[in-house]
Amino acid sequence: MPTSVSPSHAPVTVLGLGPMGRSLAGAFLAAGHPTTVWNRTPGRGSGLVERGAVEAGSAAEAIGASPLVVVCVLDYDAVHAVLEPHADALKGRTLVNLTADTPDRARATAAWARAHGITYLDGAIMVPTHLVGTPSCLVLHSGPAEAYAAHRATLAAVGGTSVHLGEDPGRAAAFDVALLDVFWTAMTGIVHAFTLAGAEGVAARDLAPYARGVVELLPHFVGTFAEQIDTGSHPPEGSNLRSAAAIMAHVREAATARGIDASVITAAHEVALRGMAAGYAEDSYSRVVEVNRG
């Protein structure tokens, strides 16, 4: 009998069987890892059991089944509610927390883990559930590099690209909240645009091809603004903060005239106006980073 387990078949435990937790467990199973699952509400693991998972009767039993424990629940309050009663069982194991929350909470959870002899990696899954286990999946990790290296082969089962961002346990969450800021601010703008167009008798499907064209302009500005912000130089590129504020004022007026909630564009417009008041009117829109910083 072998005295050690091949990394490609190392056991793993998944705590939390919401949509993302089930997707993670399914990816580990598909990659050939013996997978133990547990959820506070019984019965969530039935489909996974049919695929070969073991559904533990308790969190302690699930933790004891594997040297690598992955937790993915609603937030860090739920993480601590699940884990704190079982700190002794987790001692000496590696805990990978793929729950979304804030950087400070990630650091606080890492400190709790260290105090209990638990090796801790924080992580962020940057794709929807249906892409977990596929080449399109992106997972960001932070925490001890040695721990990440030790379990990298198992974590690779989640698919796609796995990146270790550094030793600071809050770094993955910092990337996560910033990237979610991009996504949900953009999603809010898209839905608002369809609302505004609809109020003017324009069907969403008729606007959609043009909206895609606008979205395709954004990658250029991501790179340009990143360079300007990191260098502290904000030359206008064909447009400045003054013109951006004027355009926002038109959108705000049109929405208000149709009785549409204009709170998001109003907030953006007021940030631009504060930038102008601070003397940035002739600079690139990237200069509002100074306003955001307060």
258, two tokens? 């149709």
| Average of per-residue pLDDT across 188-204 | 98
Q: Residues near 95 by Cβ (< 8 Å), separated by ≥ 6?
A: 69, 71, 83, 113, 118, 119, 120, 121
Tell me: pLDDT of 237 over 90: no
Residues 245-268: pLDDT tens digits? 999 999 999 999 999 999 999 999
Question: Which of the four pLDDT bands, split at 50, 70 and 90, describes residue 8?
Answer: low
Q: What is the DSSP string of 82-118?
A: HHGGGHHHHTTSEEEE-----HHHHHHHHHHHHHTT-
Q: Mention every residue, 6+ apart, whose C-beta is less than 8 A from residue 211.
A: 190, 193, 194
Helix (H) or strand (E) holding 181: helix 171-199
Where along the chain do its domains lie? 9-166, 175-293
What pLDDT is attached to residue 291?
97
In three-state secondary structure terms, 211 is: helix
**196 HSE (CA, 13 A, CB side):** 20
pLDDT score recorded for residue 171: 98
Residue 44: per-residue pLDDT: 86
9-166 and 175-293 share one fold:
no
pLDDT at 4 over 50: no
What class has domain 9-166? Answer: alpha beta
Q: What angle do CA 112, 96, 66 make, to 5 degrees?
A: 105
pLDDT number for residue 5: 44
User: Which CATH code is given to the segment(s) 175-293?
Assistant: 1.10.1040.10
- What is the mean pLDDT of the segment spanning 41-50? 90
Q: Does the pLDDT value for residue 125 go beyond 80? A: yes
Note the pLDDT of residue 42: 85
Exposed, middle or buried by CB within 10 Å (0-12, 13-18, 19+), for 1? Answer: exposed
Residue 198 has pLDDT above 60, yes or no: yes
Query: Is residue 43 predicted with pLDDT exceeding 90?
Result: no
Which pair of structure tokens corresponds to residue 292? 């955001």
Helices (H) and strands (E) in the chain, counts: 13, 8
Residues in the chain: 294
Confidence of residue 9 (pLDDT cuts 50, 70, 90): confident
Instruction: Report whether pLDDT(3) > 50.
Output: no
